[in-house]
Amino acid sequence: MDYFLLLVLILSFAWTCFHVFTTGLPGRRKSSPAMLPPGPRPLPIVGNIFNLGNKPHQALADLSQTYGPIMTLKLGGITTIVMSSPYTAKEVLHKHDRALSARTIPGAVHAKDHHMNSIVWLPPAAHWKNLRKVSAMYMFTAQRLDASQALRRKKVQELLDYVLESCSKGQAVNIGQVAFTTSLNLISNTFFSIDLSHYHSEFSQSFSDITRGVLEDVGRPNFADYFTILRVIDPQGCQKRVKNYFEMLFHIFDGIIDKRTHPSDVSNMSTTGSRDLLDSLLDLAKDYNSEFSLLDLKHMLLVSTFFSLFVNEIYF
């Protein structure tokens, strides 16, 4: 209890100092007051966090009935503008997307400097534009998507064969797990031309645990996101856990990349006999005139892997 009281006092002192430095001393008139939309009056330190309750989407809908389709909420030390109507959402996403594209990045995403190398979290500057260009030219071309059609059919057929074989033996099938393995192998074949896992392997379960762990820690409410002064100590350990997960995945990627770049090992060439996505991206990363680095490649593999497996986690 003493530690809790001490923490409250420290936070109160920090909030008071921050308030004085940003708004001035009491009674002093602001030189340029911020013109913000209306919203509920925030409490000291915590702001409007308690206004959200256990069901934030319903709470925001109720608040919009009082304060209108554009309102201001103070979530800890973060000022948040909420758009709660189709018209205002269209204004933000279609007409003013570039001016309003900046957003708060969760503290957990700062692990391994992912926010500085990921197309998901970078601001729309030169680095982001270059990564978007690489994605459009190498990953999402119509030719590459058409070429992977046979691969998708093959992996689905392997899934059906495994289910039929298990049923004929009277064995139970964990549909979610085998579907995850199928998705994982589809992604790994698209990038690396190899299967990362098998239906009887433990690796698929480990990869699934990593995926779930990252999604939970990034999506979990984190005190460090609302009180930036806590980001250094990471009180909930979200960033530390995500860093460990990223290091596990980078270890897998590094092993595959090292084998692919080894010139004397013919067995590590693409099993299809043709150049796959990894070959193309490695050549681009080796080009000294290119702004695409090996670090960008690994973070791009990270994003693509999690996005694809995230869809699998939603359905299974």
| Three-state SS annotation for the chain | CHHHHHHHHHHHHHHHHHHHHHHCCCCCCCCCCCCCCCCCCCECCCECHHHHCCCHHHHHHHHHHHHCCEEEEEECCEEEEEECCHHHHHHHHHHCCCCCCCCCCCHHHHHHHHHHCCCCCCCCCHHHHHHHHHHHHHHCCHHHHHHCHHHHHHHHHHHHHHHHHHHHCCCCCCHHHHHHHHHHHHHHHHHHCCCCCCCCCCHHHHHHHHHHHHHHHHHCCCHHHHCHHHCCCCCCCHHHHHHHHHHHHHHHHHHHHHHHHCCCCHHHCCCCCCCCHHHHHHHHHHCCCCCCCHHHHHHHHHHHHHHHHHHHHHHC
Q: Pseudo-torsion of CA 276, 282, 284, 289, nearest 10°?
A: -170
Determine the Cα angle at 20 with ends 18 and 21, to 5°. Answer: 65
Higher pLDDT, 92 or 2: 92
User: In terms of Cα–Cα distance, which of 206, 227, 224 is closest to 108?
Assistant: 224
Rounded average pLDDT over 233-251: 93
Q: What residue ranges of the chain are covered by domains with CATH 1.10.630.10?
A: 126-262+273-314
d(CA 13, CA 109): 28
- pLDDT range class, residue 76, cuts 50, 70, 90: confident
| Burial degree of 107 (CB within 10 A; 0-12, 13-18, 19+) | buried
pLDDT tens, position by position, 129-182: 999 999 888 887 777 777 778 888 999 999 999 999 999 988 888 888 888 888
Average pLDDT, the chain: 81
d(CA 305, CA 196): 12
pTM for the predicted model, two decimal places: 0.77
Pick the CATH number of 126-262+273-314 from 3.40.50.300, 3.30.450.20, 1.10.3720.10, 1.10.630.10: 1.10.630.10
Task: Please say if the pLDDT value at position 247 is more than 80.
Answer: yes
Query: Given this model, what pLDDT does residue 29 score?
Result: 44
d(CA 217, CA 212): 9
- Grouping H, G, I as helix, E, B as strand and the rest as coil, residue 117 is coil
Percent of the chain with pLDDT over 70: 82
Task: Please say if the pLDDT value at position 11 is more than 80.
Answer: no
Task: Please say if the pLDDT value at position 231 is more than 50.
Answer: yes
Query: Given this model, what pLDDT does residue 23 score?
Result: 47
d(CA 151, CA 187): 10
Q: How many CA atoms lie within 13 A of 191 on its CB side?
A: 23
Lowest mean pLDDT segment, chosen from 128-137, 213-222, 227-236, 273-282: 273-282
